A and B are shown apart, each in its own frame.
Chain A
Amino acid sequence: MKAPKIILLFILSALLVIVFIVSAGNGALEIAPMQVISILLHKMGFPVITAFEPSQENVLWAIRLPRVLLGVLIGAGLAVSGASLQGLFRNPLADPTLIGISSGASLCAVLMIVIISVSNVFGSITSIAGYYALNIFTFIGAGLAALAVYALSRNGGRTMVTTMLLAGIAINALCGALTGLIIFYSTDEQLRNVTFWMLGSLGGASWNTVFGVLPFILIPVLLLPRLSKSLNAFSLGEAEAGHLGVNADRLKIQVLAFSTMAVGASVAVAGIIGFVGLVIPHILRLIAGPDNRFLLIASSISGAILLSGADVISRIIIAPAELPIGILTSIIGTPIFMWILIKHQPQLKTI
């Protein structure tokens, strides 16, 4: 990686730290940035730099920190999955929400919530075990949706973009219908749980949620960048990647597994948050080119910045109420999506 790209990574990392501290300090109970740092240092056993109230410490530790961490994790997971899927589909429009992966996960989450309230096998859904079960279930849903879209949109080693988007529409419609069906047959209590979950925000964050999704997002975030050289070769074409020594079949399975794992986990705890996986990689490609060795790492960091930043805005914009974060990302994402569509119009047929 060239020097400018490394500098850019440092700038992004610094930005993430700033957004993290600001986000953690912002809310009904103000905690100044230096106090946030002091509390964190204090928790790690370092001497206190700036004085803070015990109530500030409690709020930060029990409420703010899990929420910010969850935003960081989900943002990083969604963005790196989007970037990797775009590498796999060899197309910049492959976003987990657009091609139905998120709604596949969502359908499974709803199903799971209803099953839990019927059988109570996994105990409460807010326990870590409950989150693990939910994550695995959404992973399956996301994976099936991804496999279906991938199989449908491939034709002789090429991704047919129109087919990919149409397959996404079909899967979104099917999952929507099935979700509706489940809701139709659910009891009042199940309905309440499902609706609560579908609102989808970072509001319900707790340490249980954070640890519930941690492995499912950390693994993809750490392992997907290791595939970036192969993904670069893959952009030449499947056969060409093979000629360069890439095991294309293994690469496909790895990318699909890791990215659906991250998308599934994020849907499980925060509902469908659209366009993060589309917007972030797209902007980064404009700045620094499509080299996946830079793109995947930078996407993780930038996704984390975007989502924790958007979370601050969603908390203050209509305070004391809270705007669901998915609405905010969609408002940012839709114009960018349209822009990509217009820009790629001439080559949309077969790329």
Chain B
Amino acid sequence: MLTTENIHLNIGRKNILHNVSFQANKGELLAIVGANGAGKSSLLKIISGDTSASKGSTKLNGKLIHQYKKTELAKIRAVLAQSFSLNLSFLVKEVVMMGRYPHFNEIPTSQDHLWVEKALQETAVYHLKERVYTNLSGGEKQRVQLARVLAQVWKEEKAHADEKAHFLFLDEPVSSLDLLQQHKTLNLACKLKRKGFVVIAVLHDLNLASQYADKILMLKEGTVIAFGKTRDVLTPEHILEGFGMPVSLHQHPEYNYPFIIPNPLKQVPKKETYKTVLTIDN
């Protein structure tokens, strides 16, 4: 379980996050959505322990994040960043093995090798395992990195009710993937949540959020404008407030989630538009 309480983040005089509180339970996929500069990535950095909040607390499984040792945290929490800067010619399998680093000292065990193979298969990059990472395409690199992150925290059995949750934080995990891979990746995230993970993903595509997320946290200028069940948060009113974009929701009888269709030509009250334009410029 992940709980944050009243998180504030100030960088210089700038208020990046203001009073952010939310909770994500074992077996849930929570999507963080919001316009550019809403503070999504900063929030993800705080809950993954990269930066400390100016105020407020983050608890993983009831324990404050800064009370964990780095190595201890690395065994239960993995983070997939937005961009990667690896530029040494490691092989794909070596990159994925790095995910197992927190689990062995000098020599990887057969179990470590097994997880690496498994992660490579799950992310459909097994055929690339002997290739040099730096020669891959952007999408392939992203999947290899996903495999590394999976290898880090993957566990086989469905968690028992009393077992501690593992955490997977994804910062725009589908940004450079094609349509099929986007859905494969998010399906994988769903598979993990069913294994008892807490999955938190920053998503840009509201339709993907609508389809896959159990809960949504919508941010605007560092404050929470809506938090709760996907259906309750993804309403035209909230989306207009958060993104400055009029949308309409459509329910297809064969799908149990609504589709969000942007409607830029729809008239919005003048004042509202003006305010939004300013926000985007900021």
**A residues within 8 Å of B by Cβ?**
1, 90-92, 157-158, 229, 232-233, 235-237, 239-240, 242-247, 285, 289-291, 347, 351
Contacts and interface: CB of A to CB of B under 8 A. Distances in A.
B257 interface: no
B98 A243 contact: no
A236 B84 contact: yes
Given A235-B86, A236-B98, A237-B85, A243 B71 contact: no
26 contacts: A1-B107, A90-B87, A92-B88, A229-B106, A232-B98, A235-B90, A236-B84, A236-B85, A236-B98, A237-B81, A239-B81, A240-B81, A242-B49, A242-B70, A243-B74, A243-B77, A243-B79, A243-B152, A244-B99, A245-B69, A245-B72, A245-B74, A245-B75, A285-B88, A290-B88, A347-B87
B101 interface: yes
A239 B101 contact: no
A347 B87 CA distance: 9
A239 B94 contact: no
Contact of B102 (A235, A245, A285, A289): A245
B70 A246 contact: yes
A236 B85 CA distance: 6
A239 B86 CA distance: 12
Contacts of A242: 49-50, 70
Contacts of A239: 45, 50, 79, 81
A98 to B, nearest CB: 18
A14 to B, nearest CB: 24
Given A240-B79, A245-B71, A289-B90, 7 more contacts: A90-B85, A235-B88, A237-B81, A237-B86, A239-B79, A245-B101, A289-B91
Closest 4 pairs between A and B when the two form their complex, measured CB to CB: A245-B74, A245-B71, A290-B88, A245-B102
Nearest to A235: B88
B73 interface: yes
B135 interface: no
Contacts of A232: 90, 94, 98, 101
Contacts, number: 78
B48 interface: yes
Contacts of B24: none
B46 to A, nearest CB: 13
For the residues of B in contact with A, the DSSP-based class is mixed
B121 interface: no
A237 B90 contact: no
A245 B69 CA distance: 8
B187 interface: no
Contacts of B78: 243
A244 B152 CA distance: 8
Nearest to B79: A243
A233 B90 contact: no
B109 interface: no
Interface in B2-58: 45, 48-50
B70 A247 contact: yes
B98 A244 contact: yes
Given A243-B77, A245-B101, A246-B70, A236 B86 contact: yes
A242 B95 CA distance: 15
Contacts of B102: 244-245
B118 to A, nearest CB: 18
A147 B102 CA distance: 29
A302 B76 CA distance: 40
B101 A229 contact: yes
A239 B78 CA distance: 11
Contact of B74 (A1, A236, A244, A290): A244
Contacts of A91: 87
Nearest to A230: B101
Most chain A beta-carbon neighbours within 10 Å: one of B50, B89, B101: B101
Nearest to B169: A243
A9 to B, nearest CB: 15
Contact of A158 (B70, B85, B91, B101): B85
A236 B149 CA distance: 12
A351 B101 contact: no
A245 B70 contact: yes
B80 to A, nearest CB: 9
B70 to A, nearest CB: 5
Most chain B beta-carbon neighbours within 10 Å: one of A1, A242, A247: A242
Interface in B222-249: none
Interface string B89-121: 111001100110110001100000000000000
B239 to A, nearest CB: 31
A312 to B, nearest CB: 33
A158 B81 CA distance: 14
A227 to B, nearest CB: 13
Nearest to A247: B70
A4 B95 CA distance: 19
A237 B84 contact: yes
Contacts of B81: 237, 239-240
A58 B89 CA distance: 49
Given A239-B81, A240-B81, A244-B102, A290 B89 contact: yes
